[in-house]
Amino acid sequence: MFPYGCRCSQRGGIDIQVWRSGAARYSECMTTTPPLRVLLTGASGEVGTALRHGLHGTFDLILTDLNPPADLQAHETYRQADLQDPEQVRAAMAGAQAVIHLGGIANEHRYDRIRAVNIDGTQHVLQAAHEHGVTRVAFASSIHTVGYYPRSEQVSPDMPVRPDTFYGVSKVAGEALGRMYWERHGLEFVSVRICSFLQRPEYERNLSTWLSPRDAVQLFRQAITAPRVGYLTVAGISGNTRAWMTRDGWDTLGYVPEDDAETYLQAVQGRTQGAQGSRTESNQGGVFTEPDYVGLAATEPRS
């Protein structure tokens, strides 16, 4: 198989005796073809910043967000866009061949805000991608699509969703929109259920949920380059020994994580965020599963 976006498989008369697997094969291919032009939404956020730096040289990135990255470089292309405005999203999409969609509100909020930015915004991205002939979208979903599963149960992508917040509902909606655009328009869609993106684990729960920056870079790179994925949902975690999510779909992407949160066991063991037996410490979604958790809605007055 050839990496997604590689034109080698479409060229006639090429005698290729040996194709190596994994990153070496991808690197060899991409030295002979122009890099994919990838729109990165939410480029100014924490995950976006890690991907900007980690994917530099692999993809020709178009960066978009409400505000430019603070460390925007001269070689980078930035296009301001509000996900709530479909025309701005269409303009940002121009020339893109694939999309990594990270943009949105990354916490709980009032439903009207979540709907406008995360649900409608994702539809705007997918519609613009379809109209511009994009063929692959990698979507930042979340553990909060399944947050009410107990920590004692290992969750696979084919199990029923159990969203814990309006934020979680918005990610379920994003996955459903992705499914529709795949079935209806043939727009391939990889949903990455990010759990805890951190430089290093901070609490005991992160022994199960940690996604390291370098593994995030690899995972989203593979979500864009793996051939013929159709529609796929995978766990967005490192290779954690105590993972609450299964590794289903990682083989399809060719994702082989380098990190395991177990390395930090001594540093985080016993560090909890709630009382023993609380929803925070019993459910996979943590504090998001508490009935009184409102996230950003607590700090933003109703307009």
Chain segment 104-120, per-residue pLDDT in tens: 999 999 999 999 999 99
Chain segment 271-283, per-residue pLDDT in tens: 999 999 999 999 9
Closest to 61 (Cα-Cα) out of 76, 44, 50: 76
End-to-end CA distance of the chain: 53
Token pair of 154, please?
A: 């290992």
Token pair of 249, please?
A: 């779909």
Fold of 35-295: Rossmann fold (3.40.50)
Q: Count Cβ atoms within 10 A of the Cβ of residue 15 and give its class: 0-12 exposed, 13-18 middle, 19 or more buried.
A: exposed
Cβ 95 vs Cβ 146: under 8 Å: no
Please state the separation of Cα 113 from the chain's center in Å: 21
Chain segment 160-200, per-residue pLDDT in tens: 999 999 999 999 999 999 999 999 999 999 999 999 999 99
The helices-and-strands tally (H runs, E runs) of the chain is 11, 9
Q: Is 167 a catalytic residue?
A: yes
Predicted TM-score of the model (pTM): 0.90
How large is the average pLDDT for residues 141-153? 98
Q: Which of 26, 167, 181, 203 is catalytic?
A: 167
Chain segment 67-92, per-residue pLDDT in tens: 999 999 888 999 999 999 999 999 99
Distances (CA, A) of 204 to 104, 199, 242, 299: 27, 15, 10, 27
Token pair of 55, please?
A: 């994917």
Model pLDDT, residue 303? 56
